[in-house]
Structure 1
Amino acid sequence: MSPTTNDVVVLGAGMHPWGKWGRDFVEYGLAAARAALADAGLTWPDVQYVAGADTIRNGYPGFVSGATFAQALGWTGARVSSSYAACASGAQAIANARAQILAGLADVALVVGADTTPKGFFKPVGGDRPDDPDWLRFRLLGASNPTYFALYARRRMALYGASTDDFAAVKVKNARHGLANPNARYRKEVTVEDVRASAVVADPLRLLDICATSDGGAALVLASADYARRHGVTDPVRIAGLSTVTPTFPKTVLDLPDFATDSAMTVPPPDRPFRAALAHAAYEEAGLGPSDLSFAEVYDLSTALELDWCEDVGLCAEGEAEALLRSGATALGGRVPVNPSGGLACFGEAIPAQAIAQVCELTWQLRGRAEGRQVENPRAGIAVNQGLFGHGSAIIATT
């Protein structure tokens, strides 16, 4: 489909491979940015706007990442912004760049996110903060991230009869998808028996059910459709819908399953849960629905959470994700492959880069260049993720 005048298109996508490299996050971001610019056939001085996704674990440069990356590339007078939205930081940066282009304030924008992470699972940063709900969930509830993931897993088991082997099957699928992905950290076949044999972290989840923390970077070059057309790009990938909506009352405080932290026990719940509302808003903007999707990149912090997301984005009805998985529909070659990149199961978390990396995968798939993991004849894909306390995103890309 030819882009319209109001479209924002992806001219370039680039990544620094995920891993535990132990270097400055700026190095990863620069590598990704230069790869995206090369992919777009542009140079740094062509960029008019830089949108950085922030990292909070890497000092002041991480908090002003837009300016950090602009300085590292060389001051050119480009406008900048820096965004922090937990795991949706990259999507907020994409939204900022897209808005600048749609407003006519820029023709070309560079979006960059990168992170260097500590060993082990994430913990609160910044010292004791007894008025901070994120600090309180760790210290008062004992709800570290793996505990949080396990609560959702237990909920699936209680409500829908999910089994630990269903969760393991998600890992097996995603590990197979990531085998050929040159940017993935983990590129190894995994069996259900391997998952069963791994250490219990937060019952019922085992080590291989939970994503790691990683270093990595990702970048996109976005442009107006008119700019792309003037430069001979006739069939680019389009950002057709982007949602960063907030939750609806009464689900307004801690995003933990069925915890009475607000008025949820006395007020009827909203029509759509938060994650489903994120996807719905993106579908509405794109003029598409779940049946139009060729594939999905969803936020698999745990294997169980991928199953929740399949329902939230409308790939199946509530409680039917296990059946969808068992049917083979979400594997490469199936009706709607989920996480053809390998997902966080193969990458791990590099927080500000994650949503950007998802859109890189949408781009490569829709171009037909995802070698070794290519979805057959894709036309539209969705990328979704969620950060705590009302941050989340859904991005739909089409050809």
Structure 2
Amino acid sequence: MTRDDVAVLGAGMHPWGKWGHSFVRYGVHAARDALADAGVAWGAVQSVVGADTVRGGYPGHVAGATFARALGWQGARVTSVYAACASGAQAISTARAQILAGLAEVVLVVGADAAPKGFFAPAGGDRPDDPDWLRFRVLGATNPAYFGLYARRRMALYGDTPDDFARVKVKNSAAGAANPYARYRTPVGAPEVAASPVVADPLRLLDICATSDGAAALVLSSMDFARRHGSPDPVRIRAVSTATPHYPRTVLDLPDIATDSAAAVPAAATGFRAAIARDAYEEAGVGPEDLSLAEVYDLSTALELEWYEDLGLCGAGEGAKLLRDGVTALGGRLPVNTSGGLASFGEAVPAQAIAQVCELTWQLRGCAGERQVPDARVGVTANQGLFGHGSAVVAVR
């Protein structure tokens, strides 16, 4: 145990799907499940941190207060956090900081979304200061187009093939079939991926995650509270990285741009996504060799292979081989996305990074059922949100 550990006393989720209800309903469900799992009464919670959903109107912009009100005002401090796809991890980071600063002993973290069908359009209409609006309207680069460019880049640099991308979907669908919270619980074969419509060449429909309704919640506490509460050896969060890029290496690992402004900024030692993982490893005092499992943000099948390399599970261009060798599948040496990932859940933006930590919690407790990784001791999550929001969480047991 380190002085920077916080305990995960409870984890709860609302099943992913398209249910047609308010995000508040999903979040309250997940929160109550997490409180019940922790054995903590709602009145004992001293702080609520909500991950925001900008598509939920004003209640979504003040998610901490929205969930506190829905659960019943009881005086807890409230905080609302937005960081695009990294919102859930930023909410966890905020809760952890409050606990380590002594501002609260017990914090409830909640993220929930009721996502629209299809492409995520920028919220609020035309917004020329919004990177989503700019790439959608000026470049025509919707998310699937963006993912397709990444996939083509891997094919050009490393020789990856559409069959390699399909293997990611096959692997994750097998894990999702064993997860009661997953939206898609039917295993998928490579022929089904190949037969699905092309969305953004070379990616097909089954290579790209859906949009979903869903929610996840955690009850975090100080280690002292956990011991007093009768949990002497809980799952612990040891590190939370919330890294940003080094200019000009904002997304792709391109050579430095030869301009006066760029020359004044030291070049990054690693690319953005790799820096997200590196910062978490350094804070936690672990490395890729210590991991039992990882949960990564598989917005597309090709992007999962990028994460293998950025997490240091293998060298650049070796992600497809790691997959082909079965290393990242259930039963492999280092399973990735034992939950089934976004391939099985779909994306509920403010909930997903919290859901990743729920999966680590259940795995490290040894209660993940058919998905269980034997003797799991250390897990990492990773995702990347728009506008330079990177996040990774290291959990240990």
Instruction: Give the TM-score normalised by the residue count of structure 2.
Output: 0.97
User: 1:322 — aligned with what?
Assistant: 320
Picking from 224, 242, 245, the partner of 1:244 is: 242
Distance in 1 separating the partners of 2:255 and 2:188 = 34
Question: Relative to structure 1, is the Cα distance of residues 229 and 299 closer, same or farther in structure 2, using a 3 angstrom cutoff?
Answer: same
CA contact (8 A) 2:256 2:267 kept: no
What is the DSSP-based 3-state SS (H/G/I as helix, E as strand, rest coil) of the residue aligned with 2:54? coil
CA contact (8 A) 1:177 1:340 kept: yes
Picking from 270, 273, 298, the partner of 1:272 is: 270
Picking from 166, 169, 172, the partner of 1:171 is: 169
The percentage of aligned residue pairs carrying the same residue is 70
User: 1:361 — aligned with what?
Assistant: 359
Alignment gaps of 5+ in structure 1: none
User: 2:394 — aligned with what?
Assistant: 396
Counterpart amino acid of residue 315 in structure 2? A
Distance in 1 separating the partners of 2:253 and 2:195 = 27
Alignment of 1:337 onto 2:335:
yes
Name whichever of 384-393 and 13-22 sits farther off.
Answer: 384-393
Counterpart amino acid of residue 190 in structure 1? V
Alignment of 1:56 onto 2:54:
yes
Alignment of 1:27 onto 2:22:
no
User: 1:158 — aligned with what?
Assistant: 156
Counterpart amino acid of residue 171 in structure 1? K
CA contact (8 A) 1:6 1:224 kept: no
User: 1:10 — aligned with what?
Assistant: 8
Query: What's the CA shift string for 1:26-70, capped at 9, x where partnerless?
Result: 000000000000000011001001000000111100000000000
Distance in 2 separating the partners of 1:229 and 1:4 = 15
User: 1:96 — aligned with what?
Assistant: 94
Q: CA RMSD in A?
A: 1.7
Query: What's the CA shift string for 1:121-145, capped at 9, x where partnerless?
Result: 2121211122332211000100000
Question: Relative to structure 1, is the Cα distance of residues 167 and 110 closer, same or farther in structure 2, using a 3 angstrom cutoff?
Answer: same
Distance in 2 separating the partners of 1:353 and 1:264 = 41
Give the C-alpha shift of residue 24 in structure 1.
0.4
Query: What's the CA shift string for 1:275-303, capped at 9, x where partnerless?
Result: 10010000001000000000100010000
Query: What's the CA shift string for 1:49-95, capped at 9, x where partnerless?
Result: 10000001111000000000000011111011000000000011101
Give the C-alpha shift of residue 5 in structure 1.
4.9
Picking from 217, 220, 223, the partner of 1:219 is: 217
Distance in 2 separating the partners of 1:291 and 1:264 = 40
What is the DSSP-based 3-state SS (H/G/I as helix, E as strand, rest coil) of the residue aligned with 2:245? coil
Counterpart amino acid of residue 175 in structure 2? H
Q: How many residues align?
A: 395
What is the DSSP-based 3-state SS (H/G/I as helix, E as strand, rest coil) of the residue aligned with 1:333? coil
Give the C-alpha shift of residue 376 in structure 1.
1.1
CA contact (8 A) 2:51 2:351 kept: yes
Name whichever of 132-141 and 172-181 sits farther off.
Answer: 132-141
Distance in 2 separating the partners of 1:57 and 1:36 = 24
Query: What's the CA shift string for 1:341-379, capped at 9, x where partnerless?
Result: 000000010000000000000000000011111111111
User: 1:66 — aligned with what?
Assistant: 64
Distance in 1 separating the partners of 2:4 and 2:17 = 38
What is the DSSP-based 3-state SS (H/G/I as helix, E as strand, rest coil) of the residue aligned with 1:58? helix
Counterpart amino acid of residue 370 in structure 2? G
Question: Relative to structure 1, is the Cα distance of residues 286 and 387 closer, same or farther in structure 2, using a 3 angstrom cutoff?
Answer: same
Matches within 5 A, 1:249-328: 249-252=247-250, 255=251, 269-328=267-326
